[in-house]
Each structure stands twice: as structure tokens, then as C-alpha cells.
């Protein structure tokens, strides 16, 4: 098993924990995810990883896409397919759970797509905040609806 490293950053939506492996960024944690417990599980603290730099640039308005390796070890099967498709949704654009289900070839899997988004181990970087309900409503977000609204506003999306 690869070494898990932990790093923490402060952001406009609260403290974020980053779990990094030699393969890339594996988790982005919100405060509600119990960052401290995850830090304690890590093998060691990380040097300032590329993910921290890119997230800081994103929040400062200097980055619209992430160019860092991702480690999808905390997702599997259908959820990984959904996350890989979700990673293609560009800055400033949105999609719906139904559209994502169609794009992964399973148009009846809208609820499963919602589950994949709710359990996304890489929020912000794999932008589940860009997924809206079919009626255009905000929908839920593990980091909270205020965080989702902030991220969408940052990208010029008015919901």
C-alpha cells in the first residue's frame, strides 16, 4: 500500500484536508469530514503538495482547471466512471445528474450518479459542485450548500 500523506489548507469555504499518495491527490476533505481523524490516519505530513498550490490558485481566481495527478483509490466501479466524466465538466459550466447518467451510458442511473457525487473523494478538483438538479435547483453538497453556492458564484454560475 502506498504511503498516505496529509496536508491542510485554509480556504474561503473553510479548512480543507488533502490526502496525497505517490500516485496523486486521493482525497479533498471538508471540515464535516473529520479532517483531524484523517490527518491522524496518514503516514506522515506532506510537503506542500501540488494540489495545495493549485487549490490556493483556484480560490485566488488564478486557476480555472486542475492539472495534477489524481488517485481514484477511494472510489470504485461505476462511481469512478462517473467521477472521470465529471472531471470533464469545464469551469463555468454545469451539468445535471441525469446528463451525467446518460454520459456514462446508463440513463436510468440518476440516483447512483447522485450517490457518486455525494461520495466524491475529490470535491472541487473533480467538480461535483457543478452538478445541478434537473429543474436547475442547487441540490445538495457534502461541503454544504453555502460552499456549493460560493464555488458556483466564483465560476460565474448564477443558480
Which member of 113, 128, 147, 151 is catalytic? 128
Quick check: 40 and 14 in contact, CB under 8 A?
no
Is 32 annotated as catalytic?
Answer: no
Q: Strand 24-29 and strand 95-96: pairing? A: unpaired
Best CA proximity match to 122, nearest among 57, 56, 51: 51
Q: Strand 95-96 and strand 131-132: pairing? A: parallel
Best CA proximity match to 24, nearest among 57, 45, 2, 55: 2
- Spatial distance between the Cα atoms of 127 and 82, rounded to a whole number of angstroms: 11
Q: Which residues are catalytic?
A: 128
Amino acid at each position: 500500500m502506498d504511503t498516505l500523506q496529509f496536508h491542510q489548507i485554509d480556504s474561503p469555504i473553510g479548512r480543507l484536508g488533502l490526502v496525497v499518495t505517490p500516485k496523486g491527490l486521493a482525497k479533498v476533505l471538508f471540515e464535516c469530514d473529520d479532517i483531524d481523524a484523517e490527518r491522524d490516519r496518514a503516514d506522515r505530513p506532506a510537503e506542500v503538495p501540488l494540489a495545495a498550490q493549485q487549490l490556493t490558485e483556484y480560490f485566488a481566481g488564478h486557476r480555472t482547471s486542475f492539472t495534477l495527478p489524481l488517485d481514484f483509490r477511494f472510489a470504485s466501479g461505476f462511481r469512478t466512471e462517473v467521477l472521470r466524466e465529471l472531471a470533464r465538466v469545464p469551469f463555468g459550466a454545469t451539468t445535471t445528474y441525469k446528463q451525467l447518467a446518460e454520459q456514462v451510458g446508463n440513463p436510468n442511473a440518476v440516483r447512483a450518479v447522485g450517490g457518486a457525487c455525494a461520495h466524491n473523494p475529490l470535491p472541487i478538483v473533480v467538480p461535483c459542485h457543478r452538478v445541478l438538479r434537473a429543474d436547475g435547483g442547487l441540490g445538495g453538497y457534502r461541503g454544504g450548500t453555502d460552499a456549493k453556492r460560493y464555488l458556483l458564484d466564483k465560476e460565474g454560475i448564477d443558480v
